[in-house]
Amino acid sequence: MSLRNRRIRRAAVVVPVRNEEDLLPACLARLRRAMDRFEALPGGRTARCAVVLDRCTDASARIAASAAADDVRIMVVEVGFGNVGQTRAAGVGALLSGMGRRGLEATWIGCTDADTLVPPQWLAVGAELADAGADAVLGTVEPDPEDTDPELLGLWRGGHDGGDGHPHVHGANLGVRASAYLEVGGFPAVSLHEDVLLVEALRKAGKAVVSSGAVRAVTSGRLDGRTGGGFAGYLRALLPEDLHSAAADLPAAAARS
């Protein structure tokens, strides 16, 4: 199939949510900007977003419902998996339901997290790289300076390569062509490293995976993540033991925009 027939026309954004009432509003505001920027590209592009609520017991459901009422591009999906791989997969499934092969080739799945702020050009850059031949794009992340211990932030920046060709996989900043995603079976039903396993499957299938420094997301610097590991676990491993308690006491940034 020619690159012209594989040009991205639709964006399908998936956000898994587990009790994120403090950070979800800013996350969704940023995603709406990214969808606006994508839809402003030439060629009649459209974007949708699935907010997938997984066993939420706080105000996340109310926040998501309000966002959906305000923006018809946003849909709310409720699940009870307690498993981030299944939760992401449920969101993708809801967005791709009934789509034919040509539609899948032209659809870009954008994956992020509810504690993350994507840049306005997030989807647009992903589409540009996909139009040039990429089947998946691995973006970068940085802990939010407003809720990250300064020493920890320095350790992160000192040992983190965020340029083109970087080795990192972050579910908070990941894009993949829908047809390639389905071809390798999508996100596996695991509670940790579902993003890494998906990318491994894509590479084994010979898909074009591009690591890009062009889009950097800002994610929470908290040390008590929702999965018991993941990015929060990685940050904990960087921090000297005597600073764990002090860093854990830092509040989440209250005015993220």
* Type of residue numbered 32: R
* Type of residue numbered 112: T
Half-sphere exposure of 146 (CA within 13 A, CB side): 14
CA quadruple 128, 132, 137, 139: dihedral positive or negative? negative
Average pLDDT over residues 138-159: 81
Confidence grade of residue 253 (pLDDT, cut at 50, 70, 90): very low
Do the beta carbons of residue 175 and residue 209 sit within 8 Å? no
- Reading phi first (left if > 0) and then psi (alpha if -120 to 50, else beta), residue 32 is in alpha
Q: Identify the weakest region by mean pLDDT among 44-53, 140-149, 170-179, 213-222.
A: 140-149
**Per-residue confidence (pLDDT) for residue 227, from 0 to 100:** 55
Average pLDDT over residues 59-71: 98
The pLDDT tens digits of the residues spanning 165-200 come to 999 899 999 999 999 999 999 999 999 999 999 999
Hey, what domains does the chain have and what are their CATH numbers?
Answer: 4-145+159-221 (3.90.550.10)
pLDDT top residue among 54 and 101: 54
Residues 66-92 as b or e (16 or more Cβ within 10 Å = b) = ebbeebebbbbbebebebbbbbbbbbb
Strand partners, 46: 10
Candidates 160, 155, 170, 161; CA nearest to 237 is 155
Q: How far is CA 234 from the centre of its chain?
A: 17
The pLDDT tens digits of the residues spanning 75-96 come to 999 999 999 999 999 999 999 9
Q: Identify the weakest region by mean pLDDT among 30-34, 173-177, 239-243.
A: 239-243
d(CA 26, CA 24): 6
Q: Identify the weakest region by mean pLDDT among 1-5, 8-12, 99-103, 150-154.
A: 1-5
**Per-residue confidence (pLDDT) for residue 242, from 0 to 100:** 44
Q: Identify the weakest region by mean pLDDT among 153-157, 208-212, 253-257.
A: 253-257
Beta carbons within 10 angstroms of residue 100's beta carbon: 7
Do the beta carbons of residue 84 and residue 16 sit within 8 Å? yes
**Token code pair at residue 8:** 């991205």
* Type of residue numbered 30: R
Report the share of the chain in percent with pLDDT over 70.
Answer: 84
d(CA 215, CA 119): 7
**Per-residue confidence (pLDDT) for residue 224, from 0 to 100:** 62
Q: What is the pTM of this model?
A: 0.86
